[in-house]
Amino acid sequence: MFRFTFNAIGTTWEIETPSPLEMPARRRILERFDATYSRFRPDSLVSRIASLTEGGCVTFPEEAVALFDLYDRLHACTEGAVDPLVGVIWNCSAMTKPTR
């Protein structure tokens, strides 16, 4: 088993493959990961979810369904303390805090 590790969204991720991944494949994986999970990209899935003020429908990439299902369960179990949008929410609240 071969491992490809990278740091993103505040943690280390690891992908196991039966054979080594060449650099172009690694770049495609990182681009897709970033396009899905980055809160700093306005076109990412997480940014699109954050922009839904009244709810709505979002199409998840197949590999993201299990992770967002886990986020849903963690959000419910922690009464909202765990949320994939926590950085977006924190940034918004930081911008609206009164200054002295």
Under the banding of pLDDT at 50, 70 and 90, the label for residue 87 is low
Q: Residue 70's closest CA among 62, 81, 82?
A: 82
- Can you tell me whether residue 39 is helix, strand or coil? coil
Classify residue 73 as exposed, middle or buried by CB count within 10 Å of its CB (0-12, 13-18, 19+): exposed
Residue 11 region by backbone torsions, left for phi larger than 0, else alpha for psi between -120 and 50, else beta: beta
Tens digit of each residue's pLDDT (9 = 90 or more) over 57-74: 888 888 888 888 888 898
Q: Residue 69's closest CA among 84, 54, 50, 79?
A: 84
Tens digit of each residue's pLDDT (9 = 90 or more) over 35-46: 998 888 899 988
Tens digit of each residue's pLDDT (9 = 90 or more) over 24-35: 999 999 999 889
Looking at residue 91, what is its pLDDT? 45
Q: Give 68's Cβ-side CA count (13 Å radius).
A: 14
Most confident by average pLDDT, 19-28, 81-90, 91-100: 19-28
Which residue is it, tokens 């926590």? 86
